[in-house]
Amino acid sequence: MNENKDLSSPSIFIGKQGNDIISFGSGQPDLPPPKEAVEGISIRSDLRYGLIQGQKELREALSSEYPTSTLDNFVITNGASEALDLIFRAMGKGKVLLPKPYYYSYPHIVRLAGMQPVYTQLKDGRIDIDDFRKKVGECKAVLINSPSNPTGRVENIQTLKEIEKITGELGVWVVSDEVYKELIYERENYILKGRHVITVNSFSKTYAMCGVRVGYLWSPEQEIVNKAIEIKTHTSMNTNLVGQDMALRATRAPRSYILNQLKIWRRRRDIIYKGLCDLGLDLWKPEGAFYVLPKVKNPRKLVWLLYKKYKVITYLGEWFGAPDRIRLSYALDEEKIKEGLDRIEKGLKEIG
Amino acid sequence: MNENKDLSSPSIFIGKQGNDIISFGSGQPDLPPPKEAVEGISIRSDLRYGLIQGQKELREALSSEYPTSTLDNFVITNGASEALDLIFRAMGKGKVLLPKPYYYSYPHIVRLAGMQPVYTQLKDGRIDIDDFRKKVGECKAVLINSPSNPTGRVENIQTLKEIEKITGELGVWVVSDEVYKELIYERENYILKGRHVITVNSFSKTYAMCGVRVGYLWSPEQEIVNKAIEIKTHTSMNTNLVGQDMALRATRAPRSYILNQLKIWRRRRDIIYKGLCDLGLDLWKPEGAFYVLPKVKNPRKLVWLLYKKYKVITYLGEWFGAPDRIRLSYALDEEKIKEGLDRIEKGLKEIG
């Protein structure tokens, strides 16, 4: 066993698939994309540069979701990752407030852009508005991710409105990562609003097309949008044209596609939540996205044992700023979830 | 006329096309991509994440061009732009030596990565090895682009070998941007070698598929490659899977595809070079790529007049670090090149 050396990042588990392995690791849908996105695409033979900002048709399709918006307010990006990278590079120096636990890449993205992450610890898996208020004043931006990876939680509407208000008064940017916006079980999502809000979204999770890498950023503040475009001109140019075609077609999928997927996700959520509760674990009930983040004793030992002996992949909470927890993605068949829970039970007993 | 305000960057001309406009502006092939790249592509319905480093099949196809290499030495990127961005971000702080005139984005990419550009002035359009030697010692890297955008020049083999030697002894990285490697009229290209060399290339120019955004970086030094992969994990993840499929298929196009294109480029090169010489302009003979960079009197006035009155788009040399010149891309029909030359003659006469 060499868990301390090998468990330094999730990359240890990348490509580790197989019939006998049950993976609660990777954070991507296993369900198929809408047929609209993949059928009947013909590759055009004009493959010249597209607009850096993104194809007009795709921005047009998106603008119906942002009623006060013009096409100029969007930049189509290589997934939500590039959108975040461009936003923070466009901001220049300063601090970014991250709720903790956070999505694995957030602190890296912030630092790579030359900014500095500052953390506010979640309370019961949700933002502690008092701690938030204490820390936000020194920051240039905050990054909100509701529904959240890795907590599966959705912020209270009251909290989100409070965040809008505090940041608006202070002139602090709110970057709202809404990639799980449609995967929400408890209520409609609340979309953060205001001139100081920069929204990030993608087609990856909603339409099960992570590998196509199409996302976008949106803000009513044209200056930050223009700055992002300028940076993208030098660092990657237009987002892949075929990918943008596929994204455009995905937006034409009927609402029932999303609702049917949501039914499947909710059933899986119920199984894994009940299963982990029955094992006596302490965890937050997931309200969106497809992750659970239970507390466990000796997480490194457990994750390593589960992988090596029981062929179950789980992720260390410490990669997400939650060192006393492990993260499970439930993007897999119900039968596999149940089998995985059985194996986890054995692993937990063995650890004691 | 408001040339001083509007001529601040090439973006003024983006999207400015039309039957009556003759554009020597945009630097991309107007010829079609190989049919192998576009025909019979079927979009698979498994659109999950690919490897951050790039699909194995594509790296396999590329590795035949890099005989001493393993698949681990490559990263497939969103065009050569992202390859350069990742390389300089992976290097950390320090100076980068850029031959001047340079490709428009180079100083921006270097600065965005937190590094500092330093310049060595070309002599007759080629690297002045004495000046190079004086400046390289203080740098962490040099960026070589041969054949070059915007000069159209190819460096002497003697110079390239000297650069290999000097940088090898000093331990300075050589980033070799070889996107025009196949578009060379005078001789075979000389590929820079050594453990300290990082090669950048793309499918954009060779296979006329700029909008697909697939490029790559390659280095025998695994550490810098791994660092680039790590950064890409956070900032964009895998390069678009459909684009990688198309790139893989493009590599299967017969050599005759490239040779036929080269014939067309050479004919155009001959027309524009002779035409501009006949107009009395002072310029370097292009040996590769598809650009000429003639000296002109009053470049701002000329570029503006040509655009506004004669509907000819040319680029200001100052965008490329050559304030006494203008850049023309000859990626257009011979007939249009001739018509454009006629209009330029009128513009030159009017400027006097």
Residues A235-275: tens digit of each pLDDT? 999 999 999 999 999 999 999 999 999 999 999 999 999 99
pLDDT in tens, B115-149: 999 999 999 999 999 999 999 999 999 999 999 99
pLDDT at B18: 73
CA distance A71 to A218: 10
CA distance B136 to B174: 11
Tokens of A153: 């939680």
> Chain A interface, mutation test: which of B109, B177, B207, B242, most A Cβ atoms within 10 Å?
B242
pLDDT in tens, B26-63: 889 999 999 999 887 777 778 999 999 999 999 999 99
Q: A225, A231, A209: which is closest to A66 by C-alpha?
A: A225
Nearest CA in chain A to B237: A81
Please answer yes or no on whether A78 and B45 come within 8 Å at the CB atom.
no
pLDDT at A16: 73
Measured at the CA of B250, the angle between CA B249 and CA B252, to 5 degrees, comes to: 70
What is the set of domains in chain A, with CATH numbers?
3-27+255-351 (3.90.1150.10), 49-250 (3.40.640.10)
Q: How many CB atoms lie within 10 A of CB B168?
A: 15
pLDDT at A2: 59
Place of tokens 């020597």: B24
What count of CB pairs under 8 Å joins A to B? Answer: 155
pLDDT at A219: 97
Interface list for B 13-42 with A (CB within 8 A): 14-15, 26, 28-30, 32-33, 37-39, 41
Partners of B26 on chain A (C-beta within 8 Å) are 49
Continuous segment of H or E residues that includes residue B69: none
pLDDT at A1: 47
pLDDT tens, per residue, chain A with 352 residues: 456 667 888 888 877 777 799 999 988 999 999 999 988 777 777 899 999 999 999 999 999 989 888 999 999 999 999 999 999 999 999 999 999 999 999 999 999 999 999 999 999 999 999 999 999 999 999 999 999 999 999 999 999 999 999 999 999 999 999 999 999 998 888 999 999 999 999 999 999 999 999 999 999 999 999 999 999 999 999 999 999 999 999 999 999 999 999 999 999 999 999 999 999 999 999 999 999 999 999 999 999 999 999 999 999 999 999 999 999 999 999 999 999 999 999 999 999 8
Please tell me the distance in Å from A144's CA to the nearest CA on chain B.
Answer: 17
Please answer yes or no on whether B231 and A112 come within 8 Å at the CB atom.
yes
**What are residue B123's DSSP bridge partners?**
B126
Strand, helix or coil at B295? Answer: strand
Interface list for A 110-129 with B (CB within 8 A): 112, 114
A148 to A24, A166, B269: CA distances (angstroms): 16, 21, 56
Please answer yes or no on whether A212 and B242 come within 8 Å at the CB atom.
yes
Please tell me the distance in Å from A326's CA to the nearest CA on chain B.
Answer: 21
Q: CB-based contact (8 Å) between B64 and chain A? A: no
Nearest CA in chain B to A209: B47
Nearest CA in chain B to A104: B234
Residue B21 has pLDDT above 70, yes or no: yes
pLDDT in tens, B198-244: 999 999 999 999 999 999 999 999 999 999 999 999 999 999 999 99
pLDDT in tens, B255-287: 999 999 999 999 999 999 999 999 999 999 999
**pLDDT band with cut points at 50, 70 and 90 for residue B350:** very high
Number of Cα atoms under 13 Å in the Cβ half of residue A272: 31
Please answer yes or no on whether B212 and A78 come within 8 Å at the CB atom.
no
Interface list for B 250-269 with A (CB within 8 A): none
Partners of B320 on chain A (C-beta within 8 Å) are none
| Averaged pLDDT score across all residues of chain B | 95
Q: What is the DSSP secondary structure assignment for residue A19, as one 8-state letter?
A: T
% of chain B at pLDDT higher than 70: 98
Please answer yes or no on whether A51 and B233 come within 8 Å at the CB atom.
no
CA distance A329 to A314: 8
Please answer yes or no on whether A233 and B11 come within 8 Å at the CB atom.
yes
This prediction has a pTM of 0.96
**pLDDT band with cut points at 50, 70 and 90 for residue B1:** very low
Please give the average per-residue pLDDT across B191-198, as a whole number.
96
Please answer yes or no on whether B233 and A11 come within 8 Å at the CB atom.
yes
**Which among B15, B45, B49 has the least Cβ separation from residue A32?**
B45
pLDDT at B152: 97
Place of tokens 């196809």: B61
CA end-to-end distance (rounded Å), chain B: 18
- Strand A215-218: give its sheet, edge to edge: A74-77, A215-218, A197-202, A173-177, A141-144, A95-100, A116-121
**Which among B28, B41, B47 has the least Cβ separation from residue A209?**
B47
Please answer yes or no on whether B234 and A85 come within 8 Å at the CB atom.
yes
Q: Is the peptide bond before B150 cis (omega within 30 degrees of 0)?
A: yes
Partners of B59 on chain A (C-beta within 8 Å) are none
- A221: Cα separation from own chain's centroid: 23
**pLDDT band with cut points at 50, 70 and 90 for residue B164:** very high
pLDDT at A44: 75
Residue B345 has pLDDT above 70, yes or no: yes
Interface list for A 284-323 with B (CB within 8 A): none
Please answer yes or no on whether A81 and B239 come within 8 Å at the CB atom.
no
